[in-house]
Each structure stands twice: as C-alpha cells, then as structure tokens.
A and B are shown apart, each in its own frame.
Chain A
Amino acid sequence: MTRMQDDDPHAALRLVLVVEDEPLIALDIQMMLEDHGYGVQGPAGSIEAALALLDRARPDLAVLDLNLHGKLVLPVAERLLALGVPFILASAYASAEFTGRNRIFTDVQRVDKPILERCLLEALGRASACGPPAAPRPS
C-alpha cells in the first residue's frame, strides 16, 4: 500500500482535532486521517493541550481518547459541544457504563481500540453527517 491521498467524501480538507495520550497511537490516527485527506489539529496528549489548541482554531471534527492519563476527556467534550463541533470517542474500555454517567457521551459515535481505519473513517463520516451531539438537558 502506498501512501496516497485517498480522498474520503467527508474529508475535503476538513480539520480534525486528535486528542490521545499514547504518542504512537496519536501518530497512527494522525497518519490514517492524513492519508484520507483530512487535516489534523494536534495531536494533543492532555486536556490542557487540547483546550489550548481549541483556543487558537476551531476544528470541523474531533477524535477523543476517553481517558487521558487517568483523567476523563470531559472538559474537551464540553468545549467542543459549546463550539458545535461533532466528535467521536476512541477507547480501549469496551464498556459503555464507563461513560454512562456523563450524558454528554450518550449519543456519541465510538470506535474501539485497537482502532480499525475503516471504523474510524465511518464513525467520523457519521458524526459529521449528524452534526454535534445535542446538549444534555439540565437535570
């Protein structure tokens, strides 16, 4: 397989924020996305780094690792929600109950780790088509 610009219909120069704490996986996600015509913002390895990137530019989409060195990625998800940016979750924790208490994640597309390229692109495509997740109703 050669590294080609295999343009995804959803990609069309869209900017994707990548938040992932494991550098090798972050790089892999970045290169997968770039191979398919996406631009990558980051990758950011921490909540602080991700929020700093969002202060500078608004991405079109985002891929978030659920757990960054033991911290939930929640503050980044909330900022994306406020900006109206659709995002997907990538996590090695298979169970949905891990995030069940955070309604912000209820309707979010997920990809399991190890991440399959096809699943990542499909999830991004669906997230992009659906728009940002609905803001949770105040309880």
Chain B
Amino acid sequence: MDLDELYRLLRSSHVRAMGIVDTLRDPLVVLGPDLTVISANPAFYRAFEASADETVGQSFTTLGNGQWDIDELNQLLREVVPKSASIYDYEVTADFPHVGRKTMLITAQRVEHPDRQHRILLVSIVDATARRRKEAEKDILIGEFDHRLKNLMSVTRALARQTTVKGRSAADYRDDLIARLDALGRSLQVSANRDTTSLSELTAQLIEPYQGGSSRIEVTPGPPVPLISAQAMSLGMVLHELATNALKYGALSGAGGQVRIGWAPEEDPDGVAMVRLHWDESGGPKTAPPDSHGFGTRLITVSMEHELGGRAEFDFRPEGLRAELVFPRRD
C-alpha cells in the first residue's frame, strides 16, 4: 500500500464517520477530558441556534448562558473518562438562549481509541420537551378521568341510596334502580366525547326503552337545541323520571294512554333565549299531585333549578299530567 492509497483509505473512513455524525438527528458534542468542546454536529448547532465559533474550544459548562453548568452534571461528566462511567438520560430543564425553556436528556460515554492517547467523550442531547409536555398532559387527563369516575361513583351511590325501598319488593327496587342507571348511561352516552349534543337526540335516546310495539311516546321536535354535556345529563335524568312516573302512575300505566313531547323557543322577561319543553300525558287514569318529597320529584326540581338554571312546572290535569321544562339555552 503506498501513501496515496493509505491517504485515500483514511480519508474515506473519516468522511464516512463524519457523514454518520452529521446525519444523526440528535445533537451530539465531542468533548475532551477537560470538557472542552472538540466538535459538534449540525443537529447541535440547529437545536441551540449556535455557531461553531461560539462552541468549539469552549468548555461545555460555559456554553449558552451556562445552562449546563450544574455541579452534579459536571461531577458526572468528569468521571466518564477516568472511570469509564456512563451517563444515561440526565435531565436538565433550563431556559436556553434563542430556543427558550427546554427539557434535555444528556447521555455521555467515553469513546475508546486504539492508541489510548485521545480519550474523548461523546455527549448526545435529546430534546424531551415535547415528550415531557405530553406526559404532563396525560397526567392531567388521568386526573380528570379519575375525578369523573369518582363523581360517577357518587352519582351511582346516590341513585342506589335514594331509590325508594319502603313498602316495595327487592325486585321492584332492583328494576327501578336499573332503569335509573340505564337513563344515566344513555344520557352520558349521548353527551360523551362530544362538546355538544342535541335535544332531539337526547329525547330519542331516553324514551327508547319505553317504545314498545306501538309508539306511545310521540316526539314532535322543535327547532334544533344544542346541549352541553352537563345539561344533557341532567335533562336526561329528568326525562327518565317523567317517563318512569308515566309508566307507573300516568298515561303509560294502562292501555291507550299517550305522551306527546315537543319544544319551542321563547324569551324570558330579560330577553334571555330559553327553551320550553312540554310533556303532555293523555288517556291515562286520573292524576293527582305526587308526594313532593319523593326522590323523583325532588330530582326533577333540583336538576332543573340548579344544573339547568331553569324550572319545572307541573299541571296535574284530570286527563293527564302536563309538565313544562323551561331552561336557558347555553349555545
């Protein structure tokens, strides 16, 4: 092998090595044993918006505005060469010049060199800012989910505890409780994973369990009314209580009775846009006002007043109950 050949060989492996380093997407810095920067790859210059002039020949700890000048990191880096130690994913969160607040993971290893004279450190830096932010967002989501789950548990317990047991068989209690849980589930399903749902969709879902062979609940939808999720859940439970009451004591308790549902927009005296939903029963037995302290009645009142910011009006006509639910639009 003559000298020209040797030169070409060395040159091509050097070029190849440089090509590999330059192609790496993560910033890479080569440091001497005293932590002076020997070289850095283009990814490093891009990531920190730095130039070779202000980087090469400087101590690693003085780069930028000294963001890497951390006693613990210094100590660790100084041990890499003499002890052949390694650093994996040492986390540094700091405000970097030009690029702002970042979370960086540092990995450093000694590069073995055959002549044992040139001991150098290879330091790779991974920008974990986006990953950490996603992890933080995930934690918030999990916390929110946990909160909703506990809330749902509370609601379930409330339904189980407040569904009447007095003077009723266990089977009756079970059926009532399951019907309430179903109504809760349907209301949640209609409103879940969406910002808004519509009143006609909610009504259709909630009366579905009561639609036997012949449709005895007739819905004549009014103009579209979007509902936010909290409205949908409360209104769903109210509609269920009206339906279950009709089934036990009202128009749906015998053959031939019917319920008509519809709604219309209106304005309250202050000009606030409201919705008036009517629930008309006919053809059932004679009605009388129910126990005002029963759970169903109180649930309707509390839901309408506190969650929906509206009111429920009842008219116990001889031909059947007429209920009107008035609440402000929230769109």
Contacts and interface: CB of A to CB of B under 8 A. Distances in A.
Range, interface on chain A: 20 to 34
Contacts of B305: 45
A43 B166 contact: no
Interface of A: 1-3, 21-28, 30-32, 43-46, 49, 69, 92-93, 113-115
Interface of B is mostly: helix
Contacts of B230: 69
Nearest to A27: B302
B298 interface: yes
B239 to A, nearest CB: 14
A114 to B, nearest CB: 4
Interface string B125-164: 0000000000000000000000100110111011101100
30 contacts: A2-B165, A22-B154, A23-B234, A23-B237, A23-B303, A23-B307, A24-B158, A24-B237, A24-B299, A24-B303, A25-B151, A25-B158, A26-B302, A27-B162, A27-B295, A27-B299, A27-B302, A28-B154, A28-B157, A28-B161, A28-B162, A31-B161, A31-B162, A32-B161, A49-B306, A92-B147, A92-B150, A113-B150, A114-B153, A115-B154
A114 B162 contact: no
A115 B237 CA distance: 21
Contact of A1 (B165, B295, B299): B165
A94 B159 CA distance: 23
A22 to B, nearest CB: 6
Contacts of B166: 2-3
B91 to A, nearest CB: 22
A83 to B, nearest CB: 22
A92 B151 contact: yes
Residue with the highest number of chain B CB atoms closer than 10 Å, among A22, A26, A115: A22
Contacts of A22: 151, 154-155, 307
Contacts of A43: 302, 306
Given A92-B147, A114-B153, A28 B158 contact: yes
Nearest to B180: A24
A49 B308 CA distance: 13
Given A23-B302, A24-B299, A31-B161, 4 more contacts: A21-B306, A22-B154, A23-B306, A24-B159
Contacts of B162: 27-28, 31
A45 B305 CA distance: 9
A27 B150 CA distance: 17
A92 B158 CA distance: 15
Contacts of B154: 22, 24-25, 28, 92, 113-115
B302 A114 contact: no
A78 B122 CA distance: 58
A45 B306 contact: yes
Contacts of A3: 166
List the 6 closest pairs (A to B, CB-CB), nearest first: A45-B306, A28-B158, A92-B150, A114-B154, A23-B303, A23-B302
A24 B147 contact: no
A100 to B, nearest CB: 16
Contacts of A49: 306
Contacts of A44: 306
A25 B153 CA distance: 10
A9 B158 CA distance: 24
B309 to A, nearest CB: 8
Given A92-B151, A115-B154, A31 B295 contact: yes
